[in-house]
Every structure is written in structure tokens, then in C-alpha cells.
A and B are shown apart, each in its own frame.
Chain A
Amino acid sequence: MNQIMSNKRVIALYTLPALLLIMVLIYVPLALTGYYGLMDWDGIGEMTFIGLDNYAALIVDGAFWSSAWHSLLLAVFSVGSLVLYLGVSLVLASDVKGANLFRKIYLIPMLLSSVAIAQLWLRVYHPTNGVMNRFLTSIGIENPPLWLADTSIVLFAIFIPIIWQYAGFYIIIYYAALKNVPNEIVEAARIDGASPLQIAYKIKLPLIAGIIKVTIVLAVIGSLKYFDLIYVMTDGGPNGASEVMASYMYKLAFRTNEFGYGSAVGFFLLILILIVTYLIRKATTSKDDEVQY
């Protein structure tokens, strides 16, 4: 048995193709990003080696740190919203009549491309014609917020569509995980007289703990390198009020001809993600835990 399950040739056969692929297509670019980060390069012509100058500049770059802060906030919000998705999934995966239909409907927005989502939410937030402000004015609020134009709320205004955009993604994962919980265990508990809440809390959640941890990591990583809607809806503005690390990096690399510096930001972003992921792992993994990630 053990011999079969530790057959080196099979292990190589199963893992090497994928490893090779990510080595070449992800790790080489990663290494190059690190390398470009040591260069003064506009992304077009010749590059010059400047050592750690880019990182020295990064340390004192206020715009970078404010974008990093925004990214961290987004990560916190995304992780917080997982509770909501989990709740919805618990309901959908229970025996509520019509759950199957609801599940499909709930996942529909996830099929929309970012282009469509951005256009939709721009219409929601439009200062005069938008769904939101038309509603607010109709209930008698005279000066409704200007949402994306207001530096003090733009960041939170943009978080909502982002979190909404990913709802389907997490719900579908939780749903599949909950459906994976053996029926017998749930039935047994029910016969013992456990309430649905108790079944969810005491039985289902512990059983899908592994996948919950995975989603926390995914939410954090996804948030820290998030780019799409911010780029389309606010372009990081007004004046950086909604800038996140990835959009800042993009601007440096592709707009202001500071590809070297942009790469340094990209590399730093990677290191930051590594640290945060490590911390989460530390915080959520107990010693005897079988689930490793």
C-alpha cells in the first residue's frame, strides 16, 4: 500500500507537467519582476542597474503606502464578507424548497464580465441619474453623497461592487463543500434533536473548515492584488483616494514609464502577500491539522 502510494515515478508523472508549467510561466516572470525591480527602466528602451534604489524610493513613497493601506482594507472587508456568503450557502445547501433554483439565480452575476459590472455600478453611483441617488432624493435627502467623486467615501463605495462581484465565486465553493458533507451525519444529528442552526454551527462548519481556510487565503490574496473594477470605475481616483497596490503598479509600469519602479512595487506586493498568507496560516492551522495549505 504505502509503496504504491509513494511511487516516485507516479508522483513525478502527476506533478511535473503542472510544476513545469507554473515554473516557466509564473516563476520566471516572478523572478524577472524581481530583476526589473532593480533596474531603472522605462519599459521601452535600455535599462540600467540601480540596485535597491527603487525599494528605497518605495519606502518613502506616500502614494504607495496609501494604496497598500487601501488594499489591506479591501482584504479585511473581503474576509469579513465571507461570513455573509457562508450564511447564504448554508441556507442554499439546506433542504429549503427551491434552493436549487435560488442557487442558480444567486450565481448569475458572477458570469458577468468586469466590463459589464463596472458599467452597471457606474449607473448605480451616478451622482444625479444614478439608482442610488434617485432613491435617496425620492425619500427626501437633499444632498445625497457623490459616491465616486467623494474622496472620503469612494473607497468604500467601490468595495461594494467588488464584494458583490465575488459573492458567486465563494458561494459556489461553499455550496459544493456543504453538499459534500455526508448526509448521514446531518441526519443523525437531526434525529438527536439538533436545530438547523446547531447542525450548521456544530457539524457542518467544522467539516468544511479546511475549505473555509482556503477561501480566507484566496480572499486575502485576491484582494491584495485586486485591480479590475477599480481601474475601470475610478482609475484609482480622485487623486489616489481609491488607489490599490495593483492599480498603482499598473500606472507606474504602463502609464508613467517607470517600469522598473513598477516592478519593484509588484515584487513588494508579492512579498507582502507572502507575509500575510503566512500569518493567516499560522493563525488558522493547529498542529494536528491534517489540512495543509
Chain B
Amino acid sequence: MKKKMYLSMFSAAAVLSLAACGSGDNEEASGAAGGNDDSGNNAAEGNEAEGNNEGASEDQEEVTLDFMHLWPQGSSPDHYRIVEDIISEFEEEYSHVTVEMEVLENEQYKNKLQVVSSSNQLPDVGMTWPAGFLEPYAEGEMFAPLDDILDEDGMRDDFVAGTVEAYSVDDQAYALPLELNIAPVFYNQAIFEENGVEVPETYEDLLSVIDTLASNGVTPIALGNRDRWTGSMWYMYLADRIGGSDALNSAIDRSGSFEDERLVDAAARIQEMVDHDAFIPGFNGLSDQEAKAEFMNSSAAMYLIGSWDLPNYTTNEEVDQEFRDNIDFFKFPEVDGGEGEINNWVGGPGVGLFVAEDSDVKEEAKAFVKHFTEEWGKRSVEDAGVIPGTQVNTDEVDLPDLFIDVLDELNNASDITLFADVQMSSSVAEEHLNMIQSLFGGEVTPEEFTEAHEEALQAED
């Protein structure tokens, strides 16, 4: 029931309002700017109110706000800098608050979050992933509902439609998104040219591109399937192109079955691709990073990955300029006779900010989340290459073309299917991811693949 909600969250019209491009939308952009002004005014009012308070009680109690995030300075210097700036701005505005941050790496972050929440010691503000990850925290009343911030001066409209819903349970939002990604197929134009192949528009084209490349001794696709979500994206796309967004979504929200012919067909095509030597040898034992290296050194021609990887193909100075110039992307090809649309994307929001339900400084924490999300939205694309959950005005940002193109695609998306492992509950996701490895490895038939999913989904009910 809950699932259905965020499955169908990205409606075409809604996503269209993402970025303001062209004259027609300028009005809206200025409207948004107006909205910002409003919030500015409000903030000023807030300050006044605070000022009054201060007048009443000069020494407003000093409080500490604990903030846990996963962008270490070493690996994510840009993110880290923005975070620091935002915090110092916030501390200036709310002079009685000191923000103490704790930074952990992804895996360790997830573990710690669970450990601290089991003892009711969540940080006041922290990061969460949407849907399946967030659900137990929301249901366990660990995260505070944030609808009050969203309803304040129309903040809800600042977000790309559907993103907030991914963090909602029973129509209440439990976190505000900071990231939004879609997954294009990146490809190396130089390799395509050398081998005389064109960007594939259909699955059959893709197969023949793969055949040509493979017979010329070029690895067609870099895939690090030890991480499993990587292979899952290929399956998600095929399922979408064959059955439309409906096939997968209805299977997961239980209005349909996973043993759907279309989903079996998608699985069969995965194995067909494997049989055509589409993927890098040993993909089931390689991490995404190891596989990516093959794409980055131009020994693999294609690579399906989230738009978070865009900086590697645009702004990252550590990557060879010539290579960056060679990279472009295409939309996942259509399947002949399939129901899916080429403008459907696999993707979704990444991390978002939550406020702990038991926080002693809930008001300040909420103010911080609001402030953070707004400021992050203004800076993240340009300064850190992260597409935020809030709307980006592509006219106003200075970005490489490839970036703008992806933003435009996001803008034109007809639907976005949430990454399967995020969308499903964690135990079904685990089964899905394991079956993905087996499917790619040829250890199960497409029928067994869908059957295992169906069983896992039924066990959930």
C-alpha cells in the first residue's frame, strides 16, 4: 500500500517542472526566486522574533546540535566544504546553536545509524536513504515527520515532484532529499567510431553493437556486479522497456505478480546479453569501481551508472581531458514490441536529511534541515556536481554541456522507476540482488529468477 505511493511518484507533468528552460518558464523561475525572497523575509522575521526573545532573556540557552553525515573531507572535499559553509552560516543565524558533525563512510554510517537508533541515541540531524531504508525508522517513530517545514512558506514546491514522496510513509515526509539521480548509459564515442557502430536505439541494435565490439576484441560493457545493484539497473531497464513501468511496479506493490511474462522476458534478455559476451569477463566478482576503471581507461565501451558519476566525465581534473571529451550518454534503448517509453528512467533520490523524533533540540534541528536543504540546493550542482532534490534552474547555473543534457533529460523524463534495491523492503531487496547475480551468472533460469522474487514478495505480506 505504502509502496504504491512512491512507485508511481514521478508523474510526467510533475517532473516537467524541474528546471526552468526557455522563456516560457522564466516566470516560474522568478516565481521561485520570489519564493526564496519570501523565505528570506521569513528568516528575517524569525531573526526579529529571536531578537525579541533575546531581549526577553539575554542568555538563550546554548545548545549543541549533532549532525551525522557521510561526506568525508578526504573523498568528498567539495561536499564537505559546502557542508561546513552551511553550518557556519546557520550558526551565525542561530547564535545559540553549535553544530557538531560526525562523518562516517557509507557502510559504517549505515551500521552506526542502526546501532544508535536501537539505543534511542540518534543524532539530532542525519542522513537517510529513501523508501526501504527509511521505512523501519519511520515506523519505529525514530524520525520526526517534517511536513510542518514543508508546508512553511511553500517549501514543498521547491522540490522536484515525487522526490519528497520517496521519503514519505503514510503520507508523512520523514526526510528532505538532497540528491536526485537518473542512470544513463555512458559510452565512449572514440571506441564507437573506431568500430563503426552507432548509438543503439533498440535492444536489437544494442545486441548488434555488442556483437561488433566483442568480435573486435573490445569489452562492450563495464559491469561490476559484485555490488549487485549495478546489474539490477540493467534488469530494471529491460523490465521497463518490455513491460512499461507498470510490470515491475505492480509486481512489487502486489497488485500483480512477479511471475509476469514480461518480467521473465526481461530476465531472458539479460542472459541473452551475457551469452553475447556483452559484459566484462568476471563481472560477478568485480566491484563497481573495478569495472568503472575499465571504462575509464577506454577498454570498455559502455557503462550504465547513476548521474552522480557525471563529474568524472566533465569536471574531474584527475581524469584525462581527452577521455572526458569522448564520453557521451544515450537513453536505454527500446525493445521492439515493448510497452516501455524511451523517456522512462531508472533512478531516484539518494540521501536526504532527517530529524530525530527524540531530539532535544527539535526546533533547531528542523530549522537546520530547512536551511541546509535550501542552501544545498543552491550550490550542490555547481560546486560539487550533485543534482539536488530541489529544483535547479539550468539557465542560471554554469555547467558543462553533458551535465546540462542530463538535467534536461531529467526534466523531460516521463517516469522514473526507483532503483529496485531502494524501492523494495530490505529483505526482498537482498533476495533480488542475490538473484541478479545468479541470473547474470547463468545459475538460474529466467523462470526461477522471477519465481524467487515472487516467493520473497509473498513472504513479506
The reply to whether A and B meet directly (CB within 8 Å) is: yes
Chain A residues proximal to chain B, CB less than 8 Å: 42-46, 122, 125-128, 146-151, 154, 234-235, 237-240, 251, 254-259
- With both chains docked as a complex, state the minimum distance between the C-beta of A1 and any C-beta of chain B, in angstroms: 51
Report whether A239 and B282 are in contact in the complex, using a CB–CB cutoff of 8 Å.
no
Which residue of B118, B136, B284, B430 contacts A251 across the interface (Cβ within 8 Å)? B430
When the two chains form their complex, are residues A238 and B438 in contact, meaning their CB atoms are under 8 A apart?
A: yes
Q: Tell me if B141 and A45 are in contact (CB < 8 A).
A: yes
**Cα of A239 to Cα of B434 in the assembled complex, Å:** 5
Query: What distance in Å separates the Cβ of A137 from its nearest Cβ neighbour in chain B?
Result: 11
Q: Which of A127, A235, A240, A255 contacts B426 (CB 8 A)?
A: A255
Q: Does A147 lie within 8 Å of B118, measured CB to CB?
A: no
Q: Are B443 and A122 in contact (CB under 8 A)?
A: no
Q: Which residues of A contact B136 (CB under 8 A)?
A: 42-45, 257
Interface residues of B (CB under 8 A from A): 110-111, 114, 117-118, 136-137, 139-142, 225-228, 280-287, 290, 425-427, 429-430, 434-435, 437-438, 441, 443
A259 to B425 alpha-carbon distance, docked (Å): 14
Per CB-CB distance, the 9 closest pairs between chain A and chain B, nearest first, are A45-B140, A127-B282, A148-B285, A149-B285, A149-B284, A146-B282, A149-B282, A256-B427, A238-B284
Q: How far is the CB of A160 from chain B (nearest CB, A)?
A: 14
A127-B285, A149-B283 as given contacts; A239 in contact with B438, CB under 8 Å? yes
Q: By the criterion CB–CB under 8 Å, are B226 and A237 in contact?
A: yes
Q: Which residue of A lies closest to B439 (CB)?
A: A239
Question: Contacts A44-B140, A239-B435, A255-B430 given: A149-B118 contact, CB under 8 Å?
Answer: no
CB nearest neighbor in A for B435: A239
Q: Are B140 and A256 in contact (CB under 8 A)?
A: no
Q: How distant is A61 from chain B, measured CB to nearest CB, in Å?
A: 12
Q: Which residues of B contact A149 (CB under 8 A)?
A: 226, 282-286, 441
Interface of chain B, helix or strand or loop or mixed?
Answer: helix
Q: Is the CB of A127 within 8 A of B140?
A: no
The verdict on A151 contacting B441 (CB below 8 Å), with A240-B434, A257-B136 known, is yes
Q: Contact check: which of A128, A235, A258 meets B282 at CB < 8 Å?
A: A128
Contact partners of A238 in chain B: CB under 8 A:
225-226, 284-285, 437-438, 441, 443
Give the chain A neighbours of B287 by CB distance below 8 A.
Answer: 122
9 contacts between A and B (CB under 8 A): A44-B117, A45-B141, A148-B282, A149-B226, A149-B286, A235-B226, A255-B426, A256-B427, A256-B430
B282 touches A256 (CB 8 A): no
| Chain A residue contacts of B282, Cβ below 8 A | 126-128, 146-149
Residues of B within 8 A of A128 (CB): 280-282
Chain B nearest CB from A41 CB (Å) reads: 8
Contact A44 B284 (CB under 8 A): no
Q: Knowing A147-B285, A255-B426 are in contact, say whether A45-B441 is a contact too (CB < 8 A).
A: no
Residues in B neighbouring A150, C-beta threshold 8 A? 285
Q: Nearest CB to that of B137 among chain A residues?
A: A44
Residue on B nearest A146 in the bound complex, by CB: B282
Contacts of A151 in B (CB 8 A): 441, 443
Q: Quick one: which of A125, A126, A237, A258 contacts B434, CB cutoff 8 A?
A: A237
CB distance from A17 to the nearest CB of B (A): 26
User: Contacts of A154 on B, CB cut-off 8 Å?
Assistant: 285
Most buried by A among B140, B282, B443: B282
User: Nearest Cβ distance between residue A134 and chain B, in whole angstroms?
Assistant: 13
- The residues of A that contact B225 with a CB separation of less than 8 Å are 238
Task: Name the A residues within 8 Å of B285 (CB-CB).
Answer: 125, 127, 146-150, 154, 234, 238
Q: Which residues of A contact B142 (CB under 8 A)?
A: 44-45
B118, B228, B430: the one within 8 Å of A44 (CB): B118
Q: Please name all residues of chain A whose beta carbon is closer than 8 Å to the beta carbon of B283 when the two chains form the complex.
A: 149
Q: Which residues of B contact A251 (CB under 8 A)?
A: 430
Which B residue's beta carbon lies closest to that of A41? Answer: B118
Q: Which residues of A contact B443 (CB under 8 A)?
A: 151, 238-239
In the bound complex, what is the Cα–Cα distance between A148 and B225 (angstroms)? 11
CB neighbours (8 Å) of A42 from chain B are 136, 140
- Would A237 and B427 be within 8 Å (CB), given that A44-B118, A126-B290, A148-B226 are in contact? no
* New A-B pairs, 7, CB < 8 Å, besides A44-B114, A148-B226: A127-B286, A148-B284, A154-B285, A237-B284, A239-B441, A240-B434, A257-B427
Return B8 CB to nearest CB of chain A, in Å: 24
Q: State A254–B429 Cα separation when bound (angstroms).
A: 13
The distance from the CB of A92 to the nearest CB of chain B, in whole angstroms, is 35
Smallest CB separation, B121 vs chain A (Å): 12
Distance (Å) between the CB of B309 and the closest chain A CB?
21
Bound complex: CA A65 to CA B285 (Å):
23
Query: Once the chains are docked, how many angstroms separate the CA of A151 from the CA of B285?
Result: 10
Instruction: List B contacts of A234 (CB < 8 A).
Output: 226, 285
Contacts of A256 in B (CB 8 A): 426-427, 429-430
Contact A43 B441 (CB under 8 A): no
Q: Given the complex of chains A and B, what is the CA–CA distance between A35 and B136 in angstroms?
A: 21
Q: How far is it, in angstroms, between the C-alpha of A128 and the C-alpha of B437 when the chains are bound?
A: 19
Give the docked Cα–Cα distance between A239 and B226 (Å): 9
* B137, B280, B285: residue with the most chain A Cβ atoms closer than 10 Å: B285
A-chain residues with CB within 8 Å of residue B227 when the two chains form the complex: 235
Alpha-carbon separation in the docked complex, A284 to B331 (Å): 65
B19 to chain A, nearest CB (A): 35
Q: Which residue of B lies closest to A63 (CB)?
A: B434
A237 to B439, CA, bound (A): 13
Q: Which of B118, B141, B280 contacts A43 (CB 8 A)?
A: B118
What is the bound-complex CA distance between A291 and B426, given in angstroms? Answer: 49
Residues of A within 8 A of B139 (CB): 45
Contacts of A239 in B (CB 8 A): 434-435, 437-438, 441, 443
Q: How far is the CB of A10 from chain B (nearest CB, A)?
A: 39
A200 to chain B, nearest CB (A): 41
Q: Is the CB of A258 within 8 A of B228?
A: no
The interface residues of chain A lying within 8 Å CB-to-CB of B441 are 149, 151, 238-239
- Tell me the complex Cα distance, A256–B428, Å: 8
> How far apart sit A257 and B212, CA to CA, in the bound complex (Å)?
45
